[in-house]
Amino acid sequence: MIEITRLVKSFGSLNVLKGMEMRVEKGEIFSILGKSGSGKSVTLKCIVGLVVPDAGDIVVDSVRVDADDRKSLAAVRKKIGYLFQGGALYDSMTILDNLIFNLSRHRKMQRSEAADRSRHYLSLVGLKESLNKLPSELSGGMKKRAALARALVIEPEILLCDEPTTGLDPITSREISELIGSLHQQFHVTAIVVTHDILCAGILSDRAGVLDDGMLKYTGSIKELAAIQDEEVAGYFKSPLQ
């Protein structure tokens, strides 16, 4: 379970989070919708201690995230697979080595065992043919898949996905969403998915919330959100063809 209470974060005079509250139950997929620049990535980064909040509490499975407490931070990070917005694949390593590196650093594991498991996860996301390619040789969709495999290879209890489908064509983005969904069914991870792709949120999530003006507004199921009249929320549900 992930619980965020009264989270505050500013960069200089820019107040990004203004007392945000969020609660994600174990095994649930929760989507955070929100305009670009609303603080979605900052929220995810606070959860893994990459960004240190000015105030507020984050508790992950009853461990408080505290950047000063190296031990508890490491314990929290061990549970979390993080899919970065741009993939953040290590560009000096092949795709396979990206996974092996992540796995062998996260879990004390023999290289051969790590390599086997990495291959397995890469074939799971449909990249069996591209093991030995460098990230620069992959298309945008393939990069996202590889990054997803890298997040999953440590078999995390919690998955944080930062805009898994942004910048992809509609077909690939649906595939990625369905992939995350099916992996969730297999592994029962708790997941937070940041997106402004309502289709992705709809395919994936049990519940969603809209991040606006530093707070999470309108939390509820996608159906409940769709019924809300507020322009801010209704905007996500407008079909481009209407």
* Closest distance to another protein from the beta carbon of 136 (Å): 11
Q: Taking the complex as a whole, how short is the minimal distance between the CB of residue 233 and another protein, in angstroms?
A: 29
The neighbour count for residue 131, using CB atoms within 10 Å, is: 17
Contact between 11 and ligand ADP by CB under 6 A: the answer reads yes
Other C-beta atoms lying within 10 Å of the C-beta of residue 133: 15
Q: Is 8 in the site for another protein (CB under 8 A)?
A: no
Q: Which two tokens stand for residue 177?
A: 């969403």
Pairing of strands 207-212, 29-34: parallel
- The per-residue DSSP string of 80-111 comes to EEEEBTTB---TTS-HHHHHHHHHHHHS---H
User: Which amino acid is present at 52?
Assistant: V
Which of another protein, ligand ADP, Mg ion, none does 117 bind, CB closer than 5 to 8 A by kind? none
Query: Nearest approach, Cβ of 238 to ligand ADP (angstroms)?
Result: 20
- Which residue, chain included where needed, has tokens 């950047």? 67
Window 39-78: contact mask with another protein (x via CB under 8 A): ------x--x-x-----------------------x--xx
- Tokens of residue 129, six digits: 């043919």
Of 5-13, 23-31, 80-88, 175-183, the window that binds another protein (rule: CB under 8 A) is 80-88
Near Mg ion by CB under 5 A, which window of 77-85, 117-125, 141-149, 232-240?
A: 77-85
**Interacting residues with ligand ADP between 31 and 70 (CB under 6 A):** 34, 36-42
Phi, psi of 128 (to 5 degrees): -60, -30
Q: Are 30 and 227 in contact (CB under 8 A)?
A: no
77, HSE (Cβ side, Cα atoms, 13 Å):
18
Q: Which stretch binds Mg ion (CB under 5 A): 20-28, 37-45, 109-117, 180-188?
A: 37-45
Contacts with ligand ADP, residue ranges (CB under 6 A):
11, 14, 16, 34, 36-42
Contacts with Mg ion, residue ranges (CB under 5 A):
41, 85
